[in-house]
Homo-oligomer: A and B are copies of this chain.
Amino acid sequence: MAANKQVLLANRPTGWVKESDFRIVETPVPKPGEGQVLIKNSYLSLDPYMRGRMNDARSYAAKVELGEVMTGETVGEVIEGRSATFAKGDWVAGRVGWQQYAVSDGSNLRKIDTNLAPPSAHLGVVGMPGVTAYVGLLDIGQPKAGETVVVSAASGAVGSVVGQIAKLRDCRVVGVAGGKEKCDFVVKELGFDACIDHRAGDLDAALAAAAPKGIDVYFENVGGPLLDAVLLRCNPFARIPLCGMVSQYNATERYGVKNLMMAVGMRIRLQGFIVSDHMQRWPEALRQLGQWVRDGKVKYRESVTEGLENAPRAFIGLLKGENFGKQLVKL
């Protein structure tokens, strides 16, 4: 029988992740026991949050132990066994890690509808990143029609959905992304009103031009100097959902945010959130996102890397912003 290729955590990185921080192994394909199913994964999702799980630090979620399979979400097909809710032939999204095969009792799986969208999309726009955008923008950011919403990592899996939802809510939407190609995509394909290339120079002036009426919601994915620039242009009672700070995940010297004092006078609310705290919102979010995707109102783009053995390199690229859209690994 085929072997099960797996990616293990080999070292805890200090600063930038290296490919040598992972180890690729082959183990026997596991056998499902009573009430379990065997899944053959077809795509692995790569997401910035995974960087945090590699650290030996206090966090909201358990860290990955050295020698353990890296944590992550996949989509795949049930090829053997049966649980209370899953049977052979079902397509599932599951939190089963960076590997080709996995057994599960079903508790970490959700059935996906491959008629609604292809399997890979259930790791992106109609999956965890999509729900993150939906909950973070609507519940934490609470945009109102006519307000200005700024979103960083605007071409990414989360940011691209945030901006498109904000447009559907009749906001002025300004993306921030790295490079002209991504900015063009964000404006021309996704329909944002403007996109700032953060590599192109004066962030303050670009924000002033793109958000002339000030900023009401800033959806934070990156951290660093952009947050400082945004804080200076926030309107009273602005909301800043803190979804991630990918620019800081590999920093050995963290960026110091100098303009947080603006939050006092402008009554700004900054609020960190984790999508798994909001499980009760998933059904509505997935239903609505699926509808929008079907209707062509929410578009998405994928970066697909071939082969699990290339997942470490693709992950490092994701942290550097080299991906374009949702980063996946085809297994």
B265 touches A60 (CB 8 A): yes
B263 touches A254 (CB 8 A): no
A62 on interface, CB distance cutoff 8 Å = no
A254 touches B244 (CB 8 A): no
Per-residue B-contact encoding for A72-94, CB less than 8 Å = 1, 0 else: 00000000000000000000000
Contacts of A272 in B (CB 8 A): 262-269
Give residues 241-269 of A contacting B (CB, 8 Å). 242-245, 248, 254-269
A257 to B243, CA, bound (A): 18
A52 on interface, CB distance cutoff 8 Å = yes
Contacts of A262 in B (CB 8 A): 272
A97 on interface, CB distance cutoff 8 Å = no
A273 on interface, CB distance cutoff 8 Å = yes
Residue from A254, A261, A269 whose CB has the most chain B CB atoms within 10 Å: A261
A145 on interface, CB distance cutoff 8 Å = no
A273 to B267, CA, bound (A): 5
Contacts of A271 in B (CB 8 A): 263, 267-271
A236 on interface, CB distance cutoff 8 Å = yes
A25 on interface, CB distance cutoff 8 Å = no
B223 touches A260 (CB 8 A): yes
A3 on interface, CB distance cutoff 8 Å = no
Residues of A within 8 A of B (CB-CB), count:
33
From B260, B270, B273, contact of A245 by CB (8 A)? B260
Give residues 123-151 of A contacting B (CB, 8 Å). none
Known contacts A269-B269, A269-B270: A242-B264 contact under CB 8 Å = yes
A258 touches B259 (CB 8 A): no
B256 touches A60 (CB 8 A): no
A259 to B59, CA, bound (A): 13
From B52, B254, B266, contact of A265 by CB (8 A)? B52
What's the minimum C-beta distance from A190 to chain B, rounded to whole angstroms? Answer: 24
B270 touches A259 (CB 8 A): no
A–B Cβ pairs within 8 angstroms, 17 of them: A52-B265, A60-B266, A60-B267, A243-B264, A248-B261, A254-B259, A255-B258, A256-B256, A256-B258, A257-B257, A262-B272, A264-B272, A265-B272, A267-B274, A268-B271, A269-B271, A270-B270
List of 10 A-B pairs having minimum Cβ-Cβ separation, nearest first: A256-B256, A263-B272, A254-B258, A264-B272, A269-B271, A270-B270, A257-B257, A60-B265, A267-B272, A245-B261
Given A245-B264, A256-B256, A268-B271, 9 more A-B residue pairs with CB atoms under 8 Å apart are: A242-B263, A244-B264, A254-B259, A256-B258, A263-B270, A265-B272, A267-B271, A268-B272, A269-B271
